[in-house]
Each structure stands twice: as structure tokens, then as C-alpha cells.
Amino acid sequence: MRAVVQRVDGASVVVAGETVGEITGEGLCVLVGVTHDDTPEKAAQLARKLWSVRVLDGEKSCSDVNAPLLVISQFTLYGDARKGRRPTWNAAAPGPVAEPLVDEVVARLRELGAHVETGRFGADMRVSLTNHGPFTVLIDV
């Protein structure tokens, strides 16, 4: 699994004009990509890392300050644009494999005590955020 993690001062995701997920104040906006060999164990590992990674102001984690997370599925994180002009998506897991694993990340975060908002899997989403720093980190598990 792969996640692009951005420290934000608020973020939201809109689908067809409707806000489906939103966090306010300090937190993390997390784009999650799934590949073919990912497992529920990897989803749990990613959730623990997201909850405890110390990237918020003052080197705090979401668990330290009870900061919210906005988790959004994004298959394009496994795009490969090394050849030609069009990326390939061969490394991205198909929806029936990826969706339950993204849901597992969210469920595990909530079990840890996190307030989690989400996008809508497979939808045409509009993501807005204020990147604080800017601060962006890539996490692979």
C-alpha cells in the first residue's frame, strides 16, 4: 500500500456538488493507493503508521493531538509514466480488491480512536485542502 500524506489546515472532498468528507483545523489528508499483493495486515500497518507518524506541528502525531484524517482512495498512486506519454495502471489493484482494503485502513484508524472522513470510492472527486508547511510525505508499507 502507498499513501501520500499531507499536513493540512482543513480539507474536503466533493462528489457531484455534495461535500462527502471534510476535516477542519490541523489534520492529515491521505491519498491511499492499493496494489495487487496488498493485504488486510498491510492496511492495519498503514493505519497504525498514519495514526502515529509525527508530522503535525511540533512533531506531534494525530494520536498525540486527536487530529482528524481525510482518507481518499487514489489508484493513480500506482501509475507508471516511465515509458511513453501515457501512464499505465497495471500495478494498481482493481476496484473489487482495492475498495475493501481502503475501507480496512479507515476501519482500523477508527478502532485506534481516530476521527476519519472519507471520499467516495471510484467517484469523480474534487479534493480541496490547505497544505500546512507545505508538508507532504510518501509512506509505503
In order, the DSSP letters of 13-51 are EEETTEEEEEEEEEEEEEEEE-BTT--HHHHHHHHHHHH
User: Would residue 75 show up in a list of annotated catalytic residues for this protein?
Assistant: yes
3-state SS, residue 134: strand
Catalytic residue among 6, 35, 75, 118: 75
Distances (CA, A) of 102 to 41, 43, 82, 84: 12, 7, 26, 30
Catalytic residue among 74, 88, 118, 121: 74
Phi/psi for 2 (5° steps) reads -135, 140
Q: Report the pLDDT value the prediction gives residue 50, as an integer from 0 to 100.
A: 98
Q: How confident is the model at residue 1 (pLDDT cuts 50, 70, 90)?
A: very high
User: What average pLDDT does the structure give for the chain?
Assistant: 97
Q: Report the pLDDT value the prediction gives residue 118, as an integer from 0 to 100.
A: 98
Catalytic residue among 19, 24, 39, 76: 76
When pLDDT is averaged across residues 105-122 and rounded to a whole number, the result is: 97
pTM: 0.95
The string of pLDDT tens digits covering residues 42-95 is 999 999 999 999 999 999 999 999 999 999 999 999 999 999 999 999 999 999
Distances (CA, A) of 98 to 5, 79, 81: 18, 14, 21
Q: How confident is the model at residue 10 (pLDDT cuts 50, 70, 90)?
A: very high
Radius of gyration of the chain (CA): 14
User: Would residue 121 show up in a list of annotated catalytic residues for this protein?
Assistant: no
Q: How confident is the model at residue 39 (pLDDT cuts 50, 70, 90)?
A: very high
User: Would residue 76 show up in a list of annotated catalytic residues for this protein?
Assistant: yes
Q: Report the pLDDT value the prediction gives residue 28, as an integer from 0 to 100.
A: 98
Q: Report the pLDDT value the prediction gives residue 13, as an integer from 0 to 100.
A: 98
Q: Report the pLDDT value the prediction gives residue 103, as an integer from 0 to 100.
A: 98
The DSSP H or E segment spanning 97 is helix 95-111
Q: Report the pLDDT value the prediction gives residue 83, as an integer from 0 to 100.
A: 93
